[in-house]
Amino acid sequence: MRLTRIATAAVAACTALAGVVACGGSGGGSSSSASGTYTFWDPYPQFDGSSAWAKLIASCGTKAGVTVKRTAFDTTDLGNKALLAAQQGNAPDVMLVDNPVVSTLVQAQILNKMSDVGIPTTSIQPNIIGAGVIAGSAYGIPIGANTLALYYNKKVLDAAHVDPASVKDWDSLTAALKKVKAAGRKGITFSAIGTEEGSFQFLPWFWGAKGDLTRLDSADGQAALSLWKTWVSDGLAPNDVLNNTQTTSWQEFATGQYAFGENGTWQLANAEKAGFPYGVISIPARAGGAAPAPTGGEFVTVPVQKDTDRYKTTARIVSCLTSDPNLLATDTTLSYIAPTSAVQSHQVSKDPELQPWVDAVGAARGRTSDGLGTQYPVISEQLWTAVQGALSGSKDPKSALEAAQKAVANHKS
| Domain edges within the chain | 3-145+296-363, 148-293+372-412
CA 3, CA 89: separation in Å to the nearest integer?
7
Strand partners, 134: 137
pLDDT tens for the chain, residues 1 to 413: 333 333 333 333 333 444 443 333 333 343 443 359 999 999 999 899 999 999 999 999 999 999 999 999 987 788 888 888 888 888 999 999 988 889 889 988 999 999 999 999 999 999 999 989 999 999 999 999 999 999 999 999 999 999 999 999 999 999 999 999 999 999 999 999 999 999 999 999 999 999 999 999 999 999 999 999 999 999 999 999 999 999 999 999 999 999 999 999 989 989 999 999 999 999 999 999 999 999 999 999 999 999 999 999 999 999 999 999 999 999 988 889 999 999 999 999 999 989 999 999 998 999 988 788 889 989 999 999 999 999 999 999 999 999 999 999 998 75
Please state, in angstroms and as integers, the Cα–Cα distance from residue 143 to each residue in 75, 352, 366, following that order.
15, 21, 14
Q: Choose among 205, 181, 177: nearest CA to 191.
A: 205
Burial 147-171, CB ≥16 within 10 A → b, else e: bbbbbbbeebbeebebebeebbbbe
CA 101, CA 107: separation in Å to the nearest integer?
10
Chain centroid to Cα 294, Å, comes to 6
CB 215 within 8 A of CB 383: no
Global confidence as pTM: 0.82
3-state secondary structure of 56: helix
CATH number of this structure's domain 3-145+296-363, picked from the four choices 3.30.540.10, 3.40.190.10, 3.30.450.80, 3.40.50.300: 3.40.190.10
| Cα-Cα-Cα-Cα dihedral sign, residues 137, 107, 310, 340 | negative
Strand partners, 68: 38
| Cα-Cα-Cα-Cα dihedral sign, residues 145, 150, 153, 154 | negative
Label residue 243 exposed, middle or buried (CB < 10 Å: 0-12, 13-18, 19+).
Answer: middle
Q: Which CATH class is domain 148-293+372-412?
A: alpha beta
3-state secondary structure of 173: helix
**CB within 8 A of 125, min separation 6: which ones?**
339, 340, 341, 361, 362
CA 171, CA 227: separation in Å to the nearest integer?
10
